Structure 1
Amino acid sequence: MKMKKYSAETMVEAMKKVRADFGEDAIILSSTVVNSKGFLGFFKKKSVEVVAGFDEPAPKMEEPVLPFSSPPIVSVDKTSVELKKEMNEMKKMLENMQQSASHSRLPDELKPLLMHLEKQSLSSSLITQIGEEIYNRMKAEKKDFTHEEQLLMTKQFLEREIGNLPFGGISFNKKFINVLGPTGVGKTTTIAKIAARALLENKKKIGFITTDTYRIAAIEQLRTYANLLQAPVEVAYNSEDFEKAIANLADRDVIFIDTAGRNYKEVKFVEDLTRLIDFSLDMESFLVLSMTSKEQDMKIIIEQFNQFAVEKFIFTKMDETSSIGPLFNLMKDYQIGTAYYTDGQEVPEDITEAASEKLISLLLKGAYDA
């Protein structure tokens, strides 16, 4: 990593210097406010010192060929994650085998619906339950059901499974809206969409705190949205900065907290959040997940965040996937509802407040298309 120290009168000027040398992918390693000594104790002046770095791609090295290869040494955490992944894959394979055996005895009239649910990646358990419920009613009533009747029974089943979970956007009962999630899921854009709705539709005075100080581009992206919304932004590099930011935004109705996008499969990054953010505040926390991620990866992220009181999920990139079954699987497994789902980059248009009936309709859309 290349590193360099910068001095400037303000953080903004320091960031300009960093960006000029290292570009938008620069990493901020530390920042310090420095007081000059002045003359005879007077005319003291503050300045900012920033240490920034840039990761250069490491050259690939050929591994030596050894006569005997020793087993790789891995951390306990990584071993645990890999083992859990393998166990889940085996469990899924067994469920698929059981599902195939179960489906073979169901009438052909149900096959199109069940195949559609499989393509949507709904869990084997839920698909089997749906098929069995409709089949048992067919036997009890001694009749075949139309496609419309099958869809209605499927909707009723899913409504019973998830309808009791909380749905819908922010309640405005809490001052702080904390948005969590791994890198690449679109947290900052999602925050901007929610904040714009709060400002334009609910007439709330909004403000932003970003703790995503790892990359300059993340701060600048939030500043761009905040400028468009004419809302203040505070940057928190540590817990002391976070407390000052809260004080500076005391007059705001709602304060949106943009957390750093990191690889939260690693426990240490989750622990960093607890040291930086005061989770005892009057706060609603939302976990953002991308529908383009693997379901097993999303489960690992959810389990890493289980120490926080996650109110609801926010699912992004719905327009980039052809299967939304994992959304239902996760809600069912973790008993957590959904606040919003997004389907594009436009702010604030491409975001929808979630409701169980909307999501079920999306899941079943096209079930009987030729």
Structure 2
Amino acid sequence: MRVKKFQAETLPDAMRKVRSELGTDAVILNSKVRKTGGFLGLFKKNMTEVIAAIDPADEDENNGARKKAEKQRTSPLTNQNDNEIMKELKELRSLIQEREQKYPGMYQEAFEFLISQEISQEYAHTVIEKLLQHEKAISDYEELEQRISVQLSEQMKAGNFGDPVFDKKFIHLFGPTGVGKTTTLAKLAAEAVLNYQWKVGFITTDTYRMAAIDQLKTYANILDVPLEVAYSLEDYKKAKARYSDFDLVLVDTPGRNFRDASFVKELQQMVHFDQESDNFLVLALTSKYSDMKDIYAQFAEIPIHQLIFTKADETSSIGSAVNMTIQHQLGVAFMTDGQNVPDDIRTVSAMELAGRSVEGFAHERSS
């Protein structure tokens, strides 16, 4: 790992020097302000000193790394050893980023707050570094909180948030057990019936639990909408045909252990995911980010159009939701925050999601 010291009048200037010479993969090991120059101890001025390091594998091709790599390919044993060394260096870089990187003043406080809200280290670093590149200095915590929200929302802007709602006739909700799919389905049905006066139907393929069918039957009776139970793909297709003149058909799917890879294959044998349908992956905000990533990976074979996050009222941290939208560039269709039907469900924007993830930062620092 190559380590180098940089000096400049301001931190943004120092960071530009780092990126210019070492590239965007450089790791900041330390930064501090020092007094330099002067005459007989007088007229010294502040200079920002940054110590940065770069993994040789990430350096620009002009530094000769590529040529060295070409020579090493002639020796399989050497190449294997170098691969192991480079892996260790990358792990070391990750460890340094996690534990050692320090930002100046309130920027470091903001970084630590983002981590405490379960925003991933990668995205937190990106936000703070973007702010440090900004020419206009940030004067207080409230302005910093606002700019963090803007930067996070920028990272999520590729996803489709909120509207359009119900732009496809068939809506499939799927996800692990216990996330509230059936209740969310009832909320969507109530919205369509009460506010749009649409002709709505239910299909459930969750035949593993009689309680789930009974729960959906209760909602169907209250809303006066029909319910079809599908035990096979053939049943599902027949149910779709019976709903040919309906405005909206909401499909409930079984919740199973998301770590069971065979479950997704069974789901694809039960439900026909086609161009007539929108498919929403339902995730509980009370879940860990690592579990959310595993859930998404299991359902990746199904075309996912948007995410729905439930149980917002049961957690004070929604950083995992921000991580998922950035990582997969997927928007959020709805967020639920209670069990009341048809209430406790609403659309959410990227800016609102970002704002909620940093809500309270300025208040905590100024109080």
Global fold match (TM > 0.5):
yes
User: Which of 314, 322, 332 is matched with 1:320 structurally?
Assistant: 314
1:95 touches 1:124 (CA, 8 Å); kept in 2? no
1:169 touches 1:354 (CA, 8 Å); kept in 2? no
Question: In the aligned structure 2, how far is the partner of 1:133 from the partner of 1:166?
Answer: 23
Shift of 1:92: 9.6
Question: What's 1:5 paired with?
Answer: none
For residue 238 of structure 2, give the secondary structure of its aligned residue in structure 1. helix
Question: In the aligned structure 1, how far is the partner of 2:283 from the partner of 2:153?
Answer: 22
Unmatched tracts of structure 2, length 5 or more: 1-89
Query: Which runs of structure 2 are paired with 1:292-311 in the superposition (5 Å)?
Result: 292-311=286-305
Q: Residue 102 in 1 paired to residue 73 in 2?
A: no
AA at the equivalent of 2:336: T
Change (3 A) 1:291 1:231: same
Shift of 1:93: 9.8
Shift of 1:96: 5.8
Question: What's 1:125 paired with?
Answer: 122
1:265 touches 1:304 (CA, 8 Å); kept in 2? yes
Question: What's 1:337 paired with?
Answer: 331
Q: What does the per-residue CA deviation read over 1:246-282, in whole Å, with 9 as the maximum and x for residues that have no partner? A: 1222221100000011112211110011111111251
Question: In the aligned structure 1, how far is the partner of 2:338 from the partner of 2:92?
Answer: 34
Question: In the aligned structure 2, how far is the partner of 1:167 from the partner of 1:126?
Answer: 19
Change (3 A) 1:234 1:335: same
Shift of 1:310: 0.6
CA-atom RMSD in angstroms: 1.9
Shift of 1:97: 4.0
Shift of 1:144: 4.9
Query: Which runs of structure 2 are paired with 1:212-291 in the superposition (5 Å)?
Result: 212-280=206-274, 282-291=276-285
Shift of 1:108: 2.0
Question: What's 1:25 paired with?
Answer: none
* TM-score with structure 1 setting the length: 0.70
Instruction: State, as a whole percentage, how many aligned pairs show the same letter.
Output: 41
AA at the equivalent of 1:117: L
For residue 360 of structure 1, give the secondary structure of its aligned residue in structure 2. helix
Query: Which runs of structure 2 are paired with 1:19-38 in the superposition (5 Å)?
Result: none
* TM-score with structure 2 setting the length: 0.71
Question: What's 1:148 paired with?
Answer: 142
Change (3 A) 1:180 1:170: farther
Question: What's 1:201 paired with?
Answer: 195
Question: In the aligned structure 1, how far is the partner of 2:233 from the partner of 2:91?
Answer: 42
Change (3 A) 1:177 1:109: same
Unmatched tracts of structure 1, length 5 or more: 1-90
Change (3 A) 1:356 1:193: same
Shift of 1:136: 3.6
Change (3 A) 1:124 1:158: same
Q: Residue 115 in 1 paired to residue 109 in 2?
A: no
Question: What's 1:353 paired with?
Answer: 347
2:142 touches 2:362 (CA, 8 Å); kept in 1? no
Question: In the aligned structure 1, how far is the partner of 2:96 from the partner of 2:196?
Answer: 51
**Structure with the bigger percentage of helix:** 2
- My pick for the range that moved more, 221-230 or 245-254, is 245-254
Change (3 A) 1:253 1:219: same
User: Which of 132, 139, 156 is matched with 1:162 structurally?
Assistant: 156
Change (3 A) 1:209 1:227: same
Question: In the aligned structure 1, how far is the partner of 2:164 from the partner of 2:194?
Answer: 14
Q: What does the per-residue CA deviation read over 1:37-57, in whole Å, with 9 as the maximum and x for residues that have no partner? A: xxxxxxxxxxxxxxxxxxxxx
